Amino acid sequence: MRVVVYGVGAVGGVVAAALTRSGTDVIGIARGAQLDAIRANGLRVRAPEDEFVARFACAATPQGISFRPDDAILLTMKSQDTEAALEALRAAGVSDQPIFCFQNGVANERRALRLFDNVHGVTVMMPCSYLEPGRVSVRAAPRFGIFDIGRFPGGSDAADQALAQRLDAANFAGFVQQDVMASKYGKLLLNLGNMIEAAVGPGVDTRALRARVRAEGMAVLRHAGIRWIDVDGSDPRRDTLMITTEVPGEDRPGGSTLQSLRRGADRLESDFLNGEIALIARLHGMSAPLNSALAALGARLVRDRTGAASMTVADLEALLA
């Protein structure tokens, strides 16, 4: 198995580097300064108990890769970039290779299934950050992360087992699931607070707001008949396999949405997190005002170039009143 990591940012960078170090043949797809840095000096990974540099081949686009039948393709870009990535893969000749959606949200698998037959979901539980070109970090030990893996819309196959084994050998914990989307819906609920953190900044006590937004999300999923399993702090696997801790000498940069906003992204994944709850609610004759407001807030912060951590908790409470 060769692994193609499409999107060498935080998640993709840690996965590509760790797989490379453990002996898996990896080729990445990156862009801009990150691509230049990896080609020149490899990718440095910092963890609480580990630091290493991995060197692997990296292309600018899928057209720069001669895809093989034994490739496993990992989508590790943000959800807002998935459509263009899928079109690029099809144009590059990808057809039957398994495609694994290492992404937040629950919309990517369905989008991939429109174009490809062999689609798999992956729930990513890994606190990681893209620090600067050529450097990423992961704040977990003893394993770097936990991944639930399975076919979409359900079941599992040999490709899931093979990837889980590769991940295990690379210091991750891979679990093959027969209903991976239940795990991904649980992660969706966990990610509904990302926009709150992006608006007010890390380290601010927003537990009450997060609880309200998550309760609304749970009510929507319950009304729609959608099953989920909790993958938050109540997941017992976190107690032994993935304990979040600090990387020496580094400040905690916050979650993925906050990181995107700080990098000046022109679109946020909140449309596929809070916006997903709003969509499900509308499809089932409900409303989800809290999550709808947060999705709209993400679009406004990007449009107005307001920036991360530009609001107070009182501002946000007034918005969601």
CA–CA dist 183, 280 (Å, integer): 17
Same domain, residue pair 209 and 150 = no
Same domain, residue pair 167 and 24 = yes
Residue 266 is part of which domain span? 184-319
Same domain, residue pair 96 and 75 = yes
Same domain, residue pair 70 and 170 = yes
Q: Which two tokens stand for residue 245?
A: 């801790």
Same domain, residue pair 305 and 241 = yes
Q: Please list the pLDDT of the chain residue by residue as tens digits (321 residues).
A: 999 999 999 999 999 999 999 999 999 999 999 999 999 999 999 999 999 999 999 999 999 999 999 999 999 999 999 999 999 999 999 999 999 999 999 999 999 999 999 999 999 999 999 989 999 999 999 999 999 999 999 999 999 999 999 999 999 999 999 999 999 999 999 999 999 999 998 889 999 999 999 999 999 999 999 999 999 988 999 999 999 999 998 877 778 888 888 877 788 899 999 999 999 999 999 999 999 999 999 999 988 888 788 889 999 999 998
CA–CA dist 11, 128 (Å, integer): 7
Same domain, residue pair 8 and 137 = yes
CA–CA dist 292, 320 (Å, integer): 10
Residues composing the chain: 321
Same domain, residue pair 169 and 247 = no
Q: Is 71 exposed, middle or buried (0-12, 13-18, 19+ CB in 10 A)?
A: buried
Same domain, residue pair 30 and 163 = yes
Residue 91: which CATH number?
A: 3.40.50.720
Residue 257: which CATH number?
A: 1.10.1040.10
Same domain, residue pair 172 and 190 = no
Examine the fold and report which residue of 162, 179, 196 is the final residue of a domain before the chain moves on. 179
What is the number of domains present in the chain? 2
Res 266: pLDDT: 80
Res 256: pLDDT: 82
Same domain, residue pair 111 and 216 = no
Examine the fold and report which residue of 144, 179, 214 is the final residue of a domain before the chain moves on. 179
Same domain, residue pair 108 and 48 = yes
Examine the fold and report which residue of 153, 179, 205 is the final residue of a domain before the chain moves on. 179
Same domain, residue pair 38 and 82 = yes
Res 57: pLDDT: 98
pTM of the model: 0.96
Res 196: pLDDT: 95
User: How many CB atoms are located within 10 Å of the residue 108 CB?
Assistant: 27
